[in-house]
Amino acid sequence: MKVITKNDLIAAGYLPGPRLEAMLEKLAEYRTRGITSPKYLIKLLKREFGDPVPKPTLRDSPLPWAEAIRAETREERENLTRVRRQMDQLLRTPVLIGGAIMPDACPAGTAEATLPVGGVVVAQNAILPAAHSSDIGCSMFATFYRAEGDLAVEMDALTHATRMGQGQRAPEDWVDDPVLDEPVWENRFLYGLRERARAQIADQGDGNHFAFLGEVEVRPEMRALLQLTGHGDLASALPIGHYRVLVTHHGSRSLGAHVYKRGLAAAVKHVARQAAGIPDAAAWLDADSEDGREYWEALQYVSRWTRANHRAIHRRFLEAIGGIAKAEVGNAHNFVWRRGDLFYHGKGATPAWRDDQGRPQLGLIPLNMAEPILWVLGADHEAYHAFAPHGAGRNLSRTALRRRYREEESRSKILAESTAGLDVRWYCGKPDLSELPFAYKDARTVREQIEAYQLAEVIAEIHPRGCLMAGDSGRSWRDREEVLTPKQKRQIQHRKERRQMNQEMREW
């Protein structure tokens, strides 16, 4: 006669957890008393534990969510329409209690219920892997140092201190770090990933990741504000004067991508058992489940690894130029943060709340390689779940942007105009058009909206002097040129002719 198992109870609608474990114990007790009929056993279980609870499913309509963004152009309005559609889909998820979008919001892929870039969602006792993306812990890190040396020499040193592009460092070029020796590798989400983590220390990858050299003037009013808001230690480390600043932007590389892949697979499996009709991008892990606790621990390690990766690059750079770090600050913007039993998910969103000591959170918000990086204090605005943007965001995809500038002449012109006066370098040799300043939203508009929605207070600007990015390696999906159909080619030619005609009309 068939023995009722845990999977049978789950299939009948009972959810995993303490209640299910008690039911299994009761079944064992019944069997010792000679009760073996499955129908009778289920009847006894229902009498003692009640009927199965209906599986949660998507809400009929989305929860309300906040918008800290204002669309001013046609492209921005089209962009915002797509962002709203994604938020409406995601905010039907039963474990979510709210959300918001920042001034840099832009769509992220086409999968149903995907959190857009510049998006925030808050979950009750649950972690949604897709809501922090595969680039777990993507973050900013800045080191302030005194320097009188030549900028070009420092850019040379920076190029040797880091690595960019696809792949990883060769074994003879590996960089050791104590973070690799932490006893974490038995965690099911980290198991077998130690060598991947080792091979990518001091490695930034590609895309929008960068190493930026800038300058900042520390003024009396800035130091006073730091003192006033509880950051006296930082104020003391930065006497009044002029500083150079190295700012790096990257995430957790292959380590984080694999942790995310495992976490999402576990979440999809979890909701398939516990819920119904949930899109993969909205799948969650219960935070107090075994998988949820292990995934949370894995996320914390990935965060530590990423911070160590930043520091390794900065350490190597300072050693090469003979510089001494005066202060350092940093923040993540792709992550999950726990506050009580609430889990705040940001995909391209900078925490702007008060920390455990009641101090406004410090953050770094880059806009593009030709604009100052904003050093901010969080405004802890409850309506927007106390977040700020992580950058300027895009209105056009990489593909659409490259399609607009196909001619080599136009590319060369826009490259020269966008980077005038800056030492901009491409690690892989070839410029990436989709990372030039014009590829992003207007920096002035984004800053105005940070202030208008009271998301953060700017305490200083780190002015650009040089920037290193991966560029076009020819190996990444980001580098692939789209193959055009004859119809698309005719459309491009038609638009070019119209632009020329309009220009001639204006000149006439």
Residues tagged in the binding site annotation for Mn(2+)? 209, 249, 333
pLDDT of residue 20: 84
Spatial CA neighbour of 254 closest among 203, 196, 301, 308: 196
Asked if pLDDT for residue 476 goes beyond 80, the answer is no
R_g of the chain computed on alpha carbons: 26
Q: Which of 310, 345, 390, 463 is catalytic?
A: 390
Q: Give the residue range(s) of CATH 3.90.1860.10 domains in the chain.
A: 139-479
User: Percent of the chain, pLDDT > 70?
Assistant: 92
Global pTM exceeds 0.75: yes
pLDDT tens per residue across span 254-305: 999 999 999 999 999 999 988 999 999 999 999 999 999 999 999 999 999 9
**218-222, 367-371, 407-411, 501-505: range with lowest mean pLDDT:** 501-505
Residues tagged in the binding site annotation for GMP? 208-215, 333-334, 366-369, 390-393
Asked if pLDDT for residue 501 goes beyond 60, the answer is no
pLDDT of residue 438: 87
CA angle at 321 for the pair 320 and 326, rounded to the nearest 5°: 110
To the query of whether residue 390 is one of the catalytic residues in this protein, the response is yes
Residues tagged in the binding site annotation? 208-215, 249, 333-334, 366-369, 390-393
pLDDT tens per residue across span 226-246: 999 999 999 999 999 999 999
DSSP 15: P
Sheet holding 342-347: strands in order across? 66-67, 96-106, 117-124, 342-347, 334-339
Q: How confident is the model at residue 417 (pLDDT cuts 50, 70, 90)?
A: confident
pLDDT of residue 18: 80
Asked if pLDDT for residue 479 goes beyond 60, the answer is no
The pair of structure tokens assigned to 201 is 């220390």
User: Which class in CATH covers the domain with range 139-479?
Assistant: alpha beta
pLDDT tens per residue across span 344-374: 999 999 999 999 899 999 999 999 999 999 9
Residue type, 335: F
The two beta strands, 96-106 and 117-124, are antiparallel
Contact 228/170 with Cβ under 8 angstroms?
no
Q: What number is the average pLDDT over the span 184-203?
A: 97
pLDDT of residue 494: 58
Average pLDDT, the chain: 90
Instruction: Give the span between the Cα atoms of 232 and 246, in whole angstroms.
Output: 22
pLDDT of residue 398: 75
Helix (H, G, I), strand (E, B) or coil at 492: helix
Q: What number is the average pLDDT over the span 185-201?
A: 97
**Which helix (H) or strand (E) covers residue 63, if one does?**
none
Q: What number is the average pLDDT over the span 389-412?
A: 77
DSSP labels for 233-256?
HHHHHS-SEEEEEEEEEE--HHHH
Spatial CA neighbour of 215 closest among 460, 417, 20: 460
State the greatest distance between any 2 C-alpha atoms of the chain, in Å, as a whole number: 100
